[in-house]
Chains A and B, each alone.
Chain A
Amino acid sequence: MALLKRLAEGDRPAVNFTLDGQPASALLGDTVLTAVLTCSEHLRGSDFSAEPRAGFCLMGACQDCWVRLGDGRRVRACSTLLETDHHITREPGRSL
């Protein structure tokens, strides 16, 4: 299930990526956040109770949308544009 709903700009080329190892597809010009949340419902688990989080501010301020890319880099999903063959993994968080 998706969290975000596309309303406009639907005629863009598709971009393939993987999410937690599973193949997925989004559109050119999507942020990593848009790509993940148009095909699933969260971006990360919270640090101390592993609750699902899906970002909050979308402007690089709240720091609640960090995900990991295949090359080990960690990026803010809201301010990173999706690229072909991004291998995105979501960190589950930890329950203290």
Chain B
Amino acid sequence: MPASVPVDGLLSVAWLVIALPLAGAALLLLGGRRTDRWGHLLATGTVVAAFVLAVASTLQLSGRPGHAASIDLFTFIRTGGLDVSAGLLIDPLSAVFMLLITGVGALIHVYSIGYMAHDSGRRRFFAYLNLFVAAMLLLVLGNSYVALYVGWEGVGLASYLLIAFWYTRPAAATAAKKAFLMNRIGDVGLALAIFLMFAQLGTTSYAGVFGEVGLLAGGTVTAIGLLLLLGACGKSGQFPLQAWLPDAMEGPTPVSALIHAATMVTAGVYLIARSAPVYDETPTARTVVLAVGAVTLLIGAIVGCAYDDIKKVLAYSTVSQIGYMFLAVGLGPVGYAAGIAHLLTHGFFKAGLFLGAGSVMHAMDDQVDMRRFGGLAKRLPVTFVTFGLGYLALIGFPFLSGYWTKDAIIEAALDRGGWSGWVLGGVAVLGAGLTAFYMTRLMLMTFFGKARWTPGVHPHESPPSMTAPMVVLAVGSVAAGFLLVQVFPLAEWLEPVFGEPAEAAHVVAPAVVGIVVTAVMTVGVLAAWLFVGRREVPTTAPVRVSPVVTAARRALYADTVNEALVMRPGIWLTRALVWLDNRGVDGVVNGAAAALGGSSSRLGRAQTGFVRSYALGMLGGAVLVAGALVAVTTA
């Protein structure tokens, strides 16, 4: 790492990027009701300021040799052989994330001003949102795995608080708890990976670990890679820890857009990309990453086809799209840039889609069932257009964002060669078709066809503070892919981090891939039109359906499996242990006490209170003693 160049200018105050939103959160939480009136403006202001600062630092960064700046702030923990300093690392990779987080974060703050205008908990909402932005920035800007872990759990907390924002709803409270717990399972993996690094390398900083990881035995590196992957799966909602993400939609919609679509859930991708030097040493772990990505990609897409809840469809779409990103970064050097590019474009169009969904819900009195929508295109023109652009970008409509970045991933997968390349490429293409299907279904059910609204609902377009961010994101959805792939190639910007990608020999010509993918996408769109668009959509879900649809509606039995394998045995174990503790361990103690007490009261019966019986006892005792003495002396 070229950290030798002194850090100056704006970069030396880069910690402000984190500190500003954090200060905002602290002020709002501690300030209480006094900050109710202007708190949301302050919160938005801090994130906008952080964005400006992020842009400025990134510009300054591009002028530095090596495009990287490592900034040590203070000693966090130093004892024995452990030395963890709180420090920041700003390099092309973290700069990209810093821009995404502050940029999308600022837009969603603006959107939330309108969305949460009538909520009595608005101040609390903005405080949590600021807290999230700060933690997420710490996650990506930290210069060691420990700093990343601190941010990692910090975003988990913010996510918990925001999912449970409407905590009087038991479903929201439970979903929040579930999210936190499943994340914690992943965190165990991340923590163990850090322990293993420390045990083997004596350091946890990126520079230290990446410098020496090549000297480690292969098995150890694979273990580190797999443990990191466990952490990434938890945070990014990847198989087998994907079940929390759809439930997390209980939170307010801006939260779903910011945390559960654009930023936090992509932290797993960041982790794997950041750990590229580790994964470069271990093809085994990379293969597992690929498998996880491919499986999740399909699971998300299949389940997305069956749900009627607009936010849950988008959530499963997120699961599926992050599967693409995992697939990409699992491919190694050829895929890192493609994965990050897709992450960025996905950040734009998925955030836009969620904000659009929020706008629809806003119009429909918080209805989320798409069977109760229909014909909204005319009533919500801005939402329709922005949502539609996001939709086209997502399904990979030619020359919009998703087209560029998703194609790049599919190409990279095919370029892997051999049967695994064909399988992965095939899965990715199939996923593209499914994506087109479920998203078209969503569009048709929401914006087209006849109105199936609940009586008494009068849809109306959202206020400008909500539509403006949607417009910005829609523009991003259209243009970002082209810009990132063709105009300012992200791959070149990221070269200092991932190295120069070797020019792979194409198994299939890129043009052919583009055509095939577009064709599959068209099939998906047509299929959706055939199944959904042509006919009347019933307002209740049909009951008699094929087993495949039932399975998809139950999220491929993920929750059922979790319950059967973890929850029920866990409850049983807990009950058994409580019983054991009360009856067993404490029973032994109380039993011993009772035995002592019982025997003493029984012995006490000998104390009759009759003097003469005591006298007899004394006499008997004296005779015994005398007899014993005689026996001893005569023997």
Q: Tell me if chain B binds chain A.
A: no
